[in-house]
Amino acid sequence: IDGFSREVQEYAANTKWGCTMTTSASGPRSVRIVHDCPSDGSPVGMVTKGRSEISLDSASPQAFRIEIRSTVDAALVMEGNRIGDCP
């Protein structure tokens, strides 16, 4: 969770297309990310105007759930479980 949050912050610090990306902890093992692009800002069509919200929850080191809601793309939910030992 911490690594995911750090990657988002690094991306947000380096973006040049007018988009913002913020993170907030919504629990001890969860993070919420909001990606907001007020306009189509990339000269090569890589950025589309819209807002996406991503929730990453991990009840344990062996399980996670990602939920994505967006004004640009269809909603998506993924769940996963790790088999084996987790440090």
pTM for the predicted model, two decimal places: 0.67
17 or 56: which carries more pLDDT confidence?
A: 56
Confidence of residue 2 (pLDDT cuts 50, 70, 90): low
Q: What is the mean pLDDT of the chain?
A: 79
Mean pLDDT of 46-59: 83
pLDDT-derived band at 79, boundaries 50, 70, 90: very high
pLDDT (tens digit, 9 = 90+) per residue, 3-14?
666 776 776 677
DSSP structure string for 27-76 = ETTEEEEEEEESS---TTS---SEEEEEEEEEEETTEEEEEEEESSS--E
